[in-house]
Structure 1
Amino acid sequence: MPNISHVPFFKIIGKLGVILFFVLSGFLITSLLLQEKDKHGKISYRDFYMRRILRIWPVYFLILLLGFFVFPHFSFWIIPSPMFPPVEDNLYIKLILYIIILPNLSVALFKEVPMVSQSWSLGTEEQFYLLWPHFIDKFRKFLIPGMICIVVFYLAVKLLLGKLAIYDLFWQHLSNFWSLFNIDCMAIGGVFGVIYFDNHHKIKSILFNRLLFLAIVVFTLIFLVFGVNFGFLHYEIYSIFFGVIIFNLACNERYKNLLEYKPLNYLGNISYGMYMYHLIALQIGIQCGIYLKSNLVIYIITIPLTILFSSISYEYFEKYFLKFKRSHV
């Protein structure tokens, strides 16, 4: 059956969607940590980690439970692809890695687990959370140079591992893991967070320039539509583009209310669930498409199902944990 997976846009947008989230996360977490340190004179690590746990862990472990112990027992959920070896292969090692929030390491070592593979980015995110409050706290006076050093260090290691990967399986696995540990993209988002919070007027005036912003938006859209790949600096260049756009939408008075609509706000509330449940919805869509011999059915079914599952999860599952999150604000 014909599909649109060969279109350049769809070849690059999957990982770039995650990179956008990493940049946004770096921007928001940096801004919030700086606000807390400025207001209270310190960062409460306990409250920070509890907020992250209450938001992320419930859905994360629910998906693990389904992916490891429920779906493998039903042929409907089996994906016959070399990308997805049987869950039973290296089961205990994979399960332990997922439980201790190292799904990105599991993917690097053993490929992907059906319906669970999207959680690799949560591993990267949680590892970022583990490091970032301490970095902000200890290097407050040197944050932008420190973040630039993180980007340079990440790229240097990436280049080295890319050369070593041709010699040995160990280096291949380490290179695979490092390519999923995109802390440099979060650091780029963090730079924009520092510029915003510390009110760097000269840099802000440049970033707020209307022509520059519109040019970045237009060129980013063109690059995405045509699937432009920037090679070794692919994700870093897109991260800078995303950072400029996020900075303007969050801080520029001209555009601050551009996305302030109730439907968009609600989608923002359930966006985590949409990311975590979309593979389940996609599998249902694929099975329906196979049965009806139509790829169009896949696209028609998947998005509404993703929103439905995410809404149910948010209203009747996630909110139970989120009410405890308020006590750690």
Structure 2
Amino acid sequence: MNRKIPSLDGLRAFSIALVILSHLSGTVNAPKIFSSLYIRGCGKLGVFVFFVISGYLITTLLMQEREKTGTISLSNFYVRRALRILPAAYVFTTIMVVLFWKEIPGIEIAGAYLYFQNFVHNGWRLTHLWSLSIEEQFYLVWPAICCAGFIRSRKVAAWTIALSPFVRVACYALGFTDVGRYSFTVADTLATGCLLAMSIPELKRYDRWLLKPITGVIFTVLILVIQGGFASRFPWARKFYESIGVTFMQLAIAGLIYNCVNMKYRLLNWKPVAAIGVLSYSLYLWQEVFLDHTSNAWYTAFPQNLVLAFLAALASYFLVEQPMLKLRSRLSGRAESSRLNAVELPSLGNSQPVVTGVQERS
């Protein structure tokens, strides 16, 4: 059975839109509005939304697996994640290395293939893979924590959120630059999504306040106001918002996600918007090539750079992502069938074991 969480694709669409608007800044022929500090700073906001969504979705899937089978299979999880993330990223990286090998330092190539790009600060072609590196590092750690039990996992997520502002302040005090690129400084953004997934029963008590259109507007305004701090011309203000303000931003993002997936707004579930959300991973990979503010090439000039970015993303989605998603579906179905045949879940008042299944789609 396919179980798709409403509105997530729509939220992904708006997230990738923020990244694209940000990267249009400085490209040839791009409208001047894209050069404003506010718009230029929206790229990181888009990434934060992706991070919170990832934490929420992965934890939801792990909880569903534990509920249905009584356990969590780390091997199955890593196979599913590898098929979802690695093929498209490796195809992109390989093409970039072949086309621009003279321009890309070896350490950046290694960072892209081995997912430590968030600790590398070189060039433009592969630098955006820093966010994928953080997500991959998260995937290595979080499922194992969840295997120890969701009560303990919830405490880990809560403490991560509480301590991360102090970690960021300490990093600034020690002279770190671009604090928002390190896994140990943005772990709370992913942890916020994890905690959201594990707090659904408690949040439902407040649905009469949380599930109103005005609540969604309040969360959105709060996010945009904090984003203004990130776009400040004053370094001290940026440091304040990047160390402390981001905590409030990610909590507001989590509140907005809860509001949107339960309210099921038409715009977020409108097919053209959802389609962009489905395409968001490939778009994120390929937009950097064409939205290059350091290049004067014809393919990096507006508006053809946008058209070419979408065409490359479509090619990546249909030629790489789709075949891998189909393979993952087949492998997941076989693995789940095998595990459910081996595990009998407690019966609900009858002599027959209750067996249910859920097929991952993300």
* TM-score category, normalised to shorter length: 0.7 to 0.9
Whether 1:45 and 2:74 are equivalent positions in the alignment is: yes
Q: 2:317 aligns with which of 303, 314, 317?
A: 314
After TM superposition, give the deviation of residue 3 of structure 1 in Å.
3.5
Distance across 1 between alignment mates of 2:282 and 2:90 = 12
Instruction: Please identify, of 257-266 and 39-48, the stretch whose mean Cα deviation from structure 2 is larger.
Output: 257-266
C-alpha spacing 1:258/1:95, structure 2 compared with 1 (3 Å): closer
Q: 1:98 aligns with which of 112, 128, 142?
A: 112
After TM superposition, give the deviation of residue 178 of structure 1 in Å.
3.1
Instruction: Please identify, of 203-212 and 309-318, the stretch whose mean Cα deviation from structure 2 is larger.
Output: 203-212
Identity, % of aligned pairs?
Answer: 25
Task: State the Cα deviation string for residues 255-300 of structure 1 (Å, max 9, x = none).
Answer: 354422221222122110000000112249953569xxxxxx9332
User: What is aligned with 2:167?
Assistant: 157
After TM superposition, give the deviation of residue 310 of structure 1 in Å.
0.8
- Structure 1: give runs of 5+ residues left out of the alignment: 74-85, 166-171, 291-296
User: What is aligned with 2:192?
Assistant: 188
C-alpha spacing 1:24/1:131, structure 2 compared with 1 (3 Å): same
Q: Which residues of 2 match residues 192-271 of structure 1 at below 5 A?
A: 192-196=196-200, 198=201, 200-221=203-224, 224=227, 227=231, 230-250=241-261, 252=262, 254-271=263-280
Could you say what the CA RMSD is over the residues aligned between the two structures, in angstroms? 2.9
After TM superposition, give the deviation of residue 64 of structure 1 in Å.
1.9
TM superposition score normalised by structure 1: 0.79
Q: Secondary structure of the equivalent of 1:259?
A: helix
Is the contact made by 2:52 and 2:190 (CA closer than 8 Å) also made in structure 1? yes
Distance across 1 between alignment mates of 2:264 and 2:163 = 34
Is the contact made by 2:279 and 2:314 (CA closer than 8 Å) also made in structure 1? yes
Q: Secondary structure of the equivalent of 2:41?
A: helix
Distance across 1 between alignment mates of 2:271 and 2:194 = 28
User: What is aligned with 1:272?
Assistant: 281
User: What is aligned with 1:14?
Assistant: 43
After TM superposition, give the deviation of residue 175 of structure 1 in Å.
5.9
C-alpha spacing 1:48/1:38, structure 2 compared with 1 (3 Å): same
After TM superposition, give the deviation of residue 233 of structure 1 in Å.
1.6
After TM superposition, give the deviation of residue 204 of structure 1 in Å.
4.0
Q: 1:148 aligns with which of 158, 163, 183?
A: 158
After TM superposition, give the deviation of residue 33 of structure 1 in Å.
1.0
Distance across 2 between alignment mates of 1:142 and 1:245 = 25
Distance across 2 between alignment mates of 1:100 and 1:179 = 15
Q: Secondary structure of the equivalent of 2:268?
A: coil
One-letter code aligned to 2:324: F
Task: State the Cα deviation string for residues 69-93 of structure 1 (Å, max 9, x = none).
Answer: 32235xxxxxxxxxxxx524xx2x4
C-alpha spacing 1:98/1:269, structure 2 compared with 1 (3 Å): same
C-alpha spacing 1:240/1:179, structure 2 compared with 1 (3 Å): same
One-letter code aligned to 2:319: Y
Instruction: Please identify, of 212-221 and 43-52, the stretch whose mean Cα deviation from structure 2 is larger.
Output: 212-221
TM superposition score normalised by structure 2: 0.72
One-letter code aligned to 2:115: I
Q: Which residues of 2 match residues 24-103 of structure 1 at below 5 A?
A: 24-73=53-102, 86-88=103-105, 91=106, 93-103=107-117
Aligned residue pair count: 295
After TM superposition, give the deviation of residue 143 of structure 1 in Å.
4.0
Distance across 2 between alignment mates of 1:214 and 1:54 = 36
Higher normalized contact order (CA 8 Å, seq sep 6+, divided by chain length): 2
After TM superposition, give the deviation of residue 98 of structure 1 in Å.
2.8
Task: State the Cα deviation string for residues 21-62 of structure 1 (Å, max 9, x = none).
Answer: 001111111111111111111111111111111111112112
Whether 1:119 and 2:129 are equivalent positions in the alignment is: yes
